[in-house]
Structure 1
Amino acid sequence: MSSSLLHPPSQLSPKVARHHSREAPNILGRSTGAISTSLFQSLLSAPETAELWTTYENLLLSCLRTADDKSAHECLGRLVNRFGNDNERIMALKGLLKEAAADDATTLNSVIKEYDQILQDNPTNIPILKRRAALLRSIGRTSESVTALTSLLDISPTDAEAWAELADQYFSQGLYSQAIFALEEVLVLQPNAWNIHARLGEVLFVSAKSSDNPGQLGEAIKRFSRSIELCDDYLRGYYGLKLTAKKLLSDPQKALQSRTGSEGFAIPDTATLSKLDEMATEKLAEIVRRSSAGERGWQGYDAAEIKAARELLENDSDTVIR
């Protein structure tokens, strides 16, 4: 059984998800006895493990991504047999299958009504609260989705996933200060999440451009630097660091004014910014070169990110990627 089935499918490439979906009948066929309700068959079957149920859930999600509804429903059936219809996570998975099968707005609205009914009986059903917020956003009811997320966080203020989703929704609406606050809350809960440090740097960079605030560029430098400190090969961290350093170097007078009057993280001096730009350039060139060559250990990068990094480097006349 593939070890990648023990990781959330949202982190898998479409290629891997398709592979899981194709293998679903074989995987389900090999493990049918594990969910048997018959005592005799259970004695003959493989023992139940947490990995087995994680595999079923993740296989269900991969099958939904590839429109293999039959296998998805079989996975759900096994989970229902084991955990029952009243399990909160099972309720959310059943709702997800209904969302995937819906072919019009009316059906999706009926799913929302079902979620509302469940929440009337149990207002603290976290999986259903999350599904409801996600569905509201997917059909364009963003303000209602934000309200749903803030209600969820009133119940569960340590839910880093909900804070991250809220930040993304705020950012999509141009509410940068709110997005920054939400991402800072994620980092309170997960201080070593290098991807969130980089994401916060990206939001700070965009916010600084819209408000002409060089001080936020200094904070972005800090976040991107922390990101690559935590993950030495994180492309987005180096990309953001180079972009921000170049932005500050392009207007040294404004950076100097912010440096002398900033109350937050001080913007590095020109020499330090140049070194950061050079380091980021070298690392991005290495990532692009080795990933494009298909070297072992350098193949996990998103193709669009590699393309963006290459274009950024090619715009830098001093950089040549061989």
Structure 2
Amino acid sequence: MQTTPEPHLANGSNLITTFHLAQKAPLILKRQSSSVETVASSPVRGIENYGVVEQLLFSCLQSGDDKSALLCTEQLAARFGMTDERIIGLRGMYEEAVAENPTRLEECLQTYDLALSENPVNLPVLKRRIALLRSLSRPVDAISSLINLLDAVPTDAEAWCELADLYHSQGMSSQAAFCLEEALLIVPNSWNIHAFLGEILYSGACASETTDCSQLLEVSIHHFSRSIELCTDYLRGFYGLVSVGPLIFYLDWC
């Protein structure tokens, strides 16, 4: 999911780091190939090394180096097997990235459906399928799939946030707020989720024609303030407070 499902570029420095890592792909992959015997004698170190290859796969996909990305998936598959749940998801991510048209994306979706028919709780594939449904502009199907995922794994905070984002995109603010409240039960100190919930409540208050508008704004202020308390330089929380302040002052004045 783009819950968040895989690593996102949060700022310019991360973008630079991603491209620098992708530029080193041939050297890293060459070293990885030459260290197979060492990995066999040291399983723990081997897992660490392949964790680097997985991160390298993400960087190569983000930078458009499809050739190196394919080599990454091949090395991971050779180590863990093509039937490994995570490998199926990573391979699917690569296939999505190189798909040239919607038909190819639909074929990726069929591959995910086949994998899920064999293992309905394959979480990496479930999340890739949901991300693909979003990219294919099928939010209703993505919502349905996320609900099924959360029925199986109700403690996945990232999935709750993704569902909230989908609900919000469909104008369903109350459902989105509920999802974020569930996420905060799992990660109560996540300042970005507090700010997101504040935004949902604020937008719901602006669209509300009932008398609970002031109450929604008060709760949104609480969450914006909490996000700043948890991260003192979190500008999104400050912007939220700046947005809510004039409106609640206006309502009190009226």
TM-score by length of 1: 0.71
Please report how far the alpha carbon of residue 16 of structure 1 lies from its aligned counterpart in structure 2 after TM superposition.
Answer: 2.4
d(CA) in 2 for partners of 1:150, 1:47: 36
d(CA) in 2 for partners of 1:104, 1:27: 31
Indicate which of 79, 98, 107 corresponds to 1:110. 107
1:65-84 map, 5 Å:
65-84=62-81
For 1:173, the equivalent position in structure 2 comes to 170
For 1:144, the equivalent position in structure 2 comes to 141
Determine whether 1:19 maps to 2:17: no
d(CA) in 2 for partners of 1:48, 1:83: 15
1:60-209 map, 5 Å:
60-209=57-206
d(CA) in 2 for partners of 1:233, 1:23: 33
Higher relative contact order (CA 8 A, sep 6+): 2
Q: Which amino acid aligns with 1:192?
A: N
Please report how far the alpha carbon of residue 45 of structure 1 lies from its aligned counterpart in structure 2 after TM superposition.
Answer: 9.1
The answer (yes or no) to whether the contact 2:126–2:149 under 8 Å persists in 1 is: yes
The answer (yes or no) to whether the contact 1:33–1:42 under 8 Å persists in 2 is: no
Determine whether 1:239 maps to 2:236: no
Kindly provide the CA deviation profile for residues 183-203 of structure 1, in whole angstroms up to 9, marking residues without a partner as x.
Answer: 111101100001000110011
The answer (yes or no) to whether the contact 2:39–2:45 under 8 Å persists in 1 is: no
The answer (yes or no) to whether the contact 2:85–2:122 under 8 Å persists in 1 is: yes
For 2:34, the equivalent position in structure 1 comes to 33
Please report how far the alpha carbon of residue 101 of structure 1 lies from its aligned counterpart in structure 2 after TM superposition.
Answer: 1.2
d(CA) in 2 for partners of 1:42, 1:123: 32
1:270-285 map, 5 Å:
none
Distance 1:45 1:245, change over 3 A: same
Kindly provide the CA deviation profile for residues 175-225 of structure 1, in whole angstroms up to 9, marking residues without a partner as x.
Answer: 000000001111011000010001100111111001141211000000011
The gaps in structure 1 that reach 5 residues or longer are 1-7, 255-322
d(CA) in 2 for partners of 1:18, 1:149: 32
The answer (yes or no) to whether the contact 2:198–2:221 under 8 Å persists in 1 is: yes
Kindly provide the CA deviation profile for residues 39-74 of structure 1, in whole angstroms up to 9, marking residues without a partner as x.
Answer: 5x6579997254322221111011111110111111
d(CA) in 2 for partners of 1:47, 1:117: 32
d(CA) in 1 for partners of 2:39, 2:189: 43
Q: Which amino acid aligns with 1:220?
A: S
Please report how far the alpha carbon of residue 77 of structure 1 lies from its aligned counterpart in structure 2 after TM superposition.
Answer: 1.6
Deviation larger for 242-251 or 180-189: 242-251
For 1:286, the equivalent position in structure 2 comes to none
d(CA) in 1 for partners of 2:184, 2:94: 32
> Across the two proteins, how many residue pairs are aligned to each other?
243
TM-score by length of 2: 0.89
Work out which of the two has the higher radius of gyration on C-alpha atoms and give 1 or 2.
Answer: 1
d(CA) in 2 for partners of 1:193, 1:181: 16
Query: What percent identity do the matched residue pairs reach?
Result: 45
Distance 1:72 1:221, change over 3 A: same
Kindly provide the CA deviation profile for residues 69-107 of structure 1, in whole angstroms up to 9, marking residues without a partner as x.
Answer: 111111112211221111100000011111111111111
1:217-228 map, 5 Å:
217-228=217-228
Please report how far the alpha carbon of residue 241 of structure 1 lies from its aligned counterpart in structure 2 after TM superposition.
Answer: 1.3
d(CA) in 2 for partners of 1:140, 1:192: 32
Deviating above 4 A after TM superposition, structure 1's stretches of 4 or more consecutive aligned residues are 41-47
The answer (yes or no) to whether the contact 1:31–1:46 under 8 Å persists in 2 is: no
Q: Which amino acid aligns with 2:8?
A: S
